[in-house]
Every structure is written in C-alpha cells, then in structure tokens.
Amino acid sequence: MVRNIAFILRLKTLETYKYYLAPTSQIPFCSVPLRLDSYSNCQFGCQYCFSKSRGGAFEVSRAKTIDNGQLKKRLERAQRGTPQGATEEFLQRRIPVQFGGMNDPFGPAEEKKAVSLGTLQTLAAYDYPTLLSTKGTLAQNGDYLATLKAGNFYVRISIAAIDENLSPCLEPGVPSIQERLQFGELLAAAGIPVSLRLQPIIPGYERSAEKLIELAANCGFRHVSAEYLKLPLESNGHSFRKLEETLPDLKHFYVENGAKRVGREFVLPAELKKVRLIALQKMAENFGLVFGFAENELLLRNDFSACCNASDLFLRGANFFDFNILGIIRQQLKSNEIVFKVSDDAWLPKKSIFSHLNSKSRVHSNQEDQRAGWTNLLREKWNSGAWRGGPVSFDGVHDTGSLDAQGNKVFRYSSALDSDEGSSEKLAINL
C-alpha cells in the first residue's frame, strides 16, 4: 500500500510541469515579463512556430501539466506579502501574467484534462490580472466562460495574417479563422476585453491583415497587436520543411529584403515593417481599436505603458515593470537628451532575477547587491550596440556620440515620420 502511494506520488511528480511560471529573458525591455503555461508543450502544429523545435513537442501524451495547487500557494504567499523568490515578488506586485506564453492552453489535451480550466479558476480566485493568449476556442463553453467573466482576464486571440485558403496548412489543427473570430465575438459580448493578435503577419499578405482588423472591429474586439514573421532558421525541422512547402518563396523574400540573422531567426528590417505597420495602425484606429506594435524595434511607438499588449488599459489593478532599458528611455522621450538615469523608486524584486536571463547575463548572478547588479547589467546594455538590446535597437533612438558625466552614452529620440509613411500604397508587397 505504502509502495503504491510512493509510486503514485512519483508518477505525479514526473507528470508535473516544473517551469510553468517564470520571468522571461525579455526582462531587460519587456514591461510584462511573466510567463505562465499550463502544458509543457503545445498540441497545435503551426508551421512557423519555434516552440516545438526549442524544447517542446506536440504529442499530447508527452505533455507535462501545471500543478494548480502549487500555483494557488504561490498566489497566496504573494497576497499575504510573504513571497518566496523573485517570481512571487512579481506576483505580489501584480505584474500581469501572460498565460499561454509558450504553449497554447487550449489544445486538444485540454478537452480531456481540463488543467487550464483549473488554472483560470485559480487566477480568478485572486482576481489576478491575466493576459490569456490562445488560438483555441475551447474557452467559449460553460465553466470556462463563467470563469473568464468572473476573473480579471484579457484575451488575446492569435491569427496568422495570411490567405484564408492557406491558413489550414500554416496552422494545422487550429480552429478556423472564422471560429476564432466568433469566439472573440462571444467573449466581447460577455464583457471580456479581447485583442486580435496578428502574429505573425506573413509578408505579402498585408491585405489579409487589413481584412482581419475590420472583422475583429465588427466582432467587438478592442485591441490589435501585430508582428511580422521571424523566419526560423531550423530548416531541418519537420514543420519548417512544411513551411517551405506552403510558402516556397518566403526565404528568398527575406534574403532579398535584407533580413538579418538575430539568434535563430531571420528578422526583416525595421524600416520595411514600420511603414506597413503604421498603415495598419491607422486603419485599426479608424475602427476604434487600440493598436500595439509588437516588433521589439518599434515598441517605443506604443503610447500606453504595457508593451504591445496595452494590458494597463484593459486589466484591473495591474502594474507593469519599467526598471529596464525601455522604461529608462520612455521616461525621457520628450527630453532633448536621453541619459542613463535610474530612479531610486524604480521597483525591482529583492531576490535574484538573473537566473531567468540568458547565459551571457547570468555572470552577474555573483553580484551580492541585486539592485547594483541589475543596474550594471542595464548600463552595459545601454553602452553596447543594437545587437545587445541597447537603446539604438529601438527605432527612432540615435546615438549622439557624446557621453554624460558618468561616461555613459547619450541618445536622442525622434519619432518624426516621412510625409507618406504609412500610406496604403506602401502596404502591399509581393512575394
């Protein structure tokens, strides 16, 4: 009997997803850097997705799942003011979690396991501000909908901007575009804020993006964010081979248009994306939607506080994280000069966040003083080039070539637009 219980406990441990909640490595510039996932891998099969090739797999049987009891304990400690570790300090601060940050919470496994439902109910019990990202439509039913209504949720429905006929090839297993829009309409009618996440936009299909924005506005969505495809370099992977079959000219387009290799992806130049995204912004705003630039380089174009998602506009009692490069620049956007200036009031967890960064940044984890260590890390980025996430990696920020009294670089910001930037004639490009 005792052996049986030990066996069951061991099995449960093996099935439990340990890393379900963590700050992401984007903390140096993201204002909502907390990711939450109920499954360790995604059961959809989007051809452009990096999630599977970088640690995930979409077989339902291999998915580990969150222990919602553990999440409850962490939220409880945060609420009581006794957080353990930096992640719980973020919770205490009520920085929104991005539920579905890596893997979709509403894949086929959820129909049997209802694990994500438990996660939603746990978050709702604490009225925890939550951004929920999904391509699934399961949450339109019974308990899911009731929980979404009761809690503090803002739902982002992701759709790739592409020809409707190609969508089933590109996003196999995912509900159709029409089903996703209907899901959003149902949520909006229930009073839940809904966003259209145009992610990714496939270059050449900007007209599809326009059409989706119009449909979303008609369905009661309140926000749209947009980001171009970052072309994965893992061309050996199964889904990336399929991507080449679906869009055979795509790689050629990226090469021809000066895409740069960033990490394991090809990224289109900011100038090329900007002009087209500004056109989409104008259109979205004409329909009464808030528009968010989701490209890292264009984040300064967002005039709300929370990154591209505008969660500060749609969630109750939500904070955002601004002790980072983007936060320092934002506070000085109207100044002539932008200098490295850290406010004494800037909030930072007391416990270490360095283990959540990439290995290059982790060398700082030896710093005894967390605040000084973090400031040093930001200062290094500040004085580096664009490739390390320094200020010039953001569109509109220019290095003046001078240094301040502490020897840190001085920058200038100019958001001036060319007169025809964002005009619809510039929108259409052909593959």
Q: Which residues are at the interface with ligand SF4 (CB under 6 A)? A: 42, 44-46, 49, 51, 103-104, 135
Q: Which of 44/240 has CB closer to ligand SF4?
A: 44
CB of 86 closer than 8 Å to CB of 23: yes
**Both structure tokens of 152:** 């503090």
Encoded tokens for 383: 């004085």
Output 177 or 326, the one with its CB closest to ligand SF4: 177
Tell me how far the alpha carbon of residue 45 is from its chain's centroid: 19
Among residues 200 and 390, whose Cβ is nearest to ligand SF4? 200
Q: Could you tell me the two tokens for 113?
A: 């396991």
- Whichever of 55 and 317 has its CB closer to ligand SF4, that residue is 55
- Tell me the closest approach of the beta carbon of residue 37 to ligand SF4, in angstroms: 9
The distance of closest approach from Cβ of residue 44 to ligand SF4 in the complex, given in angstroms and rounded to an integer, is 4
* Residue 377: its H or E element: helix 370-382
Nearest approach, Cβ of 46 to ligand SF4 (angstroms)?
Answer: 3
Nearer of residues 108 and 220 to ligand SF4, judged by Cβ? 108
418 burial (CB, 10 Å; 0-12 / 13-18 / 19+) is exposed
Q: Are 90 and 23 in contact (CB under 8 A)?
A: yes
State in angstroms the smallest separation of the CB of 45 from ligand SF4. 6
Residue 391 CB, shortest distance to ligand SF4, in Å, is 30
Least distance from C-beta 48 to ligand SF4, angstroms?
Answer: 7
Residue placing its CB nearer to ligand SF4 in the complex, 42 or 275: 42
- For the bound state, the minimum distance from the C-beta of residue 130 to ligand SF4, rounded and expressed in Å, comes to 17
Spatial separation of the C-alpha atoms in residues 254 and 396, rounded to whole Å: 23
Among residues 44 and 254, whose Cβ is nearest to ligand SF4?
A: 44
Alpha carbon distance 17, 30 (integer Å): 24
Structure-derived torsion over alpha carbons of residues 238, 296, 123, 314, reported in degrees to the nearest 10: -130
Assess contact for 60 and 43: CB atoms under 8 A: yes
- Measured distance CA(12)–CA(54) in Å, rounded: 24
What is the DSSP secondary-structure string of 209-264?
Answer: HHHHHHHHHHTT--EEEEEE--EES-TTSHHHHHHHHHSTTHHHHHHHTT-EEETT
CB of 88 to ligand SF4, least distance (A): 26
58 vs 323 by CB, closer to ligand SF4? 58
Contact status, residue 325 vs residue 390, Cβ threshold 8 Å: yes
